[in-house]
Amino acid sequence: MSTPSAAQSAAQPAAKSAAQPARRGPYAKSRQRRESIVAAAYAVFAAHGYRGGSLQDVADKVGMSQTSLLHYFPSKRDLLLAVLHQRDTITQDGTPRDPEQTLADAVVRQARFNETVPGVIELYTVLCAESVTDNHPGLEYFTERYERLRRSYLRAFTALADEGRLRPGVDPGRAAASLIALWDGIQTQWLMAPERIDMAGCLRDYLDLVVLPA
């Protein structure tokens, strides 16, 4: 699933800088440089994974030497973390923004949005799975992200249970983990056969099974 929690939205340089008034001079140039490097790294890691994509590939893409690139991001690891935060600025988490919106509507809307950004989904899918390999710098990011998302959906399902709207027998904690799991897994199938996989339909079906009508 390509859906960070809303709690993650702090400390996102690209989004923040976009909201600031335009500046001139060396600071603005440096910021632009950083943004182009992150965009290039994003594409390289999505296409080859973190281990498969090299700093040289990123430097080539942005027309810079590797030494200059390392001036902006001292290590490949720093670049990966910048790319993961950049991803967070693009996607939302599928929890309702508006009190009138149902959980299912929020999830389905997010899933439909994700179909418009396949590069983001690919990056997320590849880096998340790769992060379980030995000493991968993304492991902490993804582990924390899952914990945060499980807590967020646990709250949503517990609130529904309190209203008597969780189907009897459904465990809110396992439902939270299952919704996230279904979302991740259906994105992988969709990347391989987008014309055949109805991501939003599968997510809505699941929530229709778990949540009783109001």
> Which of 15, 70, 197, 212 is in the footprint of a second copy by CB under 8 A?
197
Q: Which is nearer to a second copy, 90 or 211 (CB)?
A: 211
Please give the residues from 154 up to 183 whose contact with a second copy meets the rule CB under 8 A: 167, 169-171, 174-175, 177-178, 180-183
14 interacts with a second copy by CB under 8 A: no
8 Å CB contact between 79 and 179: no
Quote the least distance from Cβ 103 to a second copy, whole Å. 16
| HSE toward the beta carbon, residue 142, CA cutoff 13 A | 21
Q: Which is nearer to a second copy, 100 or 134 (CB)?
A: 134
152 interacts with a second copy by CB under 8 A: no
8 Å CB contact between 157 and 175: yes
Return d(Cα 84, Cα 7) in angstroms, integer.
15
**What's the angle, vertex CA 67, arms to CA 65 and CA 70, rounded to 5?**
115
Number of H helices, E strands in the chain: 10, 0
Return d(Cα 100, Cα 119) in angstroms, integer.
31
Dihedral sign of CA atoms 205, 206, 207, 209 in order: positive
Quote the least distance from Cβ 19 to a second copy, whole Å. 33
Please give the residues from 90 up to 119 whose contact with a second copy meets the rule CB under 8 A: none
Binding span for a second copy by CB under 8 A among 24-32, 66-74, 89-97, 204-212: 204-212
Return d(Cα 3, Cα 36) in angstroms, integer.
23
Quote the least distance from Cβ 207 to a second copy, whole Å. 11
Applying CB under 8 A, the residues found at the interface with a second copy are 1, 46-49, 51-52, 122, 125-126, 128-130, 132-134, 139, 142-143, 146-147, 150, 167, 169-171, 174-175, 177-178, 180-186, 188-189, 191-193, 197-198, 201-202, 205-206, 208-210
